[in-house]
Structure 1
Amino acid sequence: MSNDTVLWEIDRRGVATVTLNRPKVNNAYNGDLIQGLHDAMDSLGAESNLRIVVLRGNGRHFQAGADLSWITAVAKQSPAENEKVSRLTAEAVKRLDTCPVPTLALIQGGCFGGGTGIAAACDVVVAQEDALFSISETRWGLMAGIILPQLCQAIGLRQTRRYALTGERFGAHEARRLGLVHEVCPVGGLAEAGEKIVESVLMNAPRATTATKLRSLASARAFIDDGELRDLIDEHARTRQQDEATEGLASFTEKRKPAWYPG
């Protein structure tokens, strides 16, 4: 099943695979891909035998953040439309974060911006040695607001402050040291490493697994309430329409340094 930008299937064991499918743009997210994630979660949520969701990215890269040409077009639309886009994006991450069955991300190549949010929202993350990460929104005059709660839970405030404020890129082993990634495997070894995780989950009682996940989130105060979610959405939408975002996105298109870079 698919909407072309997201593919999903479930096997007889109850193992669902959700595949981001915009390889020509490194699986950068746009409105279609966000809706595809919602469609996949709606469809899989109706499956009575669902045991685990595995997230993958087609092509060389897992997920390269936002499609900046799409972001530029959205920014020119009304505040209401920008709020709608931010809400759909935030709700997709929240739904993944609170999915009642375990989630597993298998990451190769680039995992930037929103991709790091997807990784942080998953229960288990395996990355190839060639994986490369960055929380890159501020480079383009944007902000990672709607994924910051998950990032702070995954790697802690101290490391989020470094990498969200510098936009530095870091490799798979550093991601593992930080806690964003649980396991690093050789290039070409994602399927094998992922299947070991899947088999471990399938050995466990389904209802007990769900209860353990949801109680863990509650104990860590990791659920985002409606008020906080609304604030995150509002700020995320406003930032996209401010002068810094206009300049940052223009610098990307024109392949130059942004105006705020000294000299």
Structure 2
Amino acid sequence: MAAVSLGTLVIQAHAGHARDAASAGTAGFATDDTAIPDDTVLMQELEKSIDLRRREDFDRMLDARDPGELIEHATLTEKALDRRILGIDALFVVGDELFGYLFRPENGWGSGGTDRKAIDYTPRLRRIHRGTAGGPDAFGCFSCHSKGGLDGAGTQSQNAFLRGDGERTGGADQRNAPHLLGLGPIACLAREMSAELQAQAAGARERAKAEGHRVEQALTTKGVSFGRIAADPDGTLEYGSVEGVDPDLTIRPFG
């Protein structure tokens, strides 16, 4: 009886594995159920794409005739930004134009002599950065941010070698170009969190000075705890109990 029961369990187990294998095998041939747009919608999208290409070609011709035409649409003065002259949609267009702009020596691309418009001007390229300066690694932002689509990440061959000695890859900080989709809000959130943590540390320092004794302050922002910080009456801060953030209390979501 025990043997029969055991055999039944084994058969059921094999049957289950067979069904799972069959499901896995057919999954590779499954079709996408997403509805294909009708011809009217496809024609509208095609017309938009053609119109965009024509406008881009026209802009390039204008820039060839009058150098600097394209960069005018891809830049924004700090005064205009501070005064909020442009709306969000316009700012997006400016940023998108800057992202797709192919920089030239007269725009600051490369390093070398001061007369960048000279016929014999040749930028000195440095694949491995020397200290904080180096490159250029490409002519435009999109050259290293295309994996997975527009504004995507970079391939391994597009890695940047930062903070090096200008010669050896082993001594540089090798970084891969990250994707750029939705990173703006994350960067803004990191700034807010950093400001709150630093304000808490400054408050602890002022309290310690005013009260004349050691003060401990919990570091918490946006519901996330980063340990505790201690302040002495002389203004010295103790970071031994700080967790998950550097002593400067700056949140770095991108490393």
State the TM-score, normalizing by the size of structure 1.
Answer: 0.24
Answer with 1 or 2: which has the greater Rg: 2
Going by fraction, where is helix more abundant, 1 or 2?
1
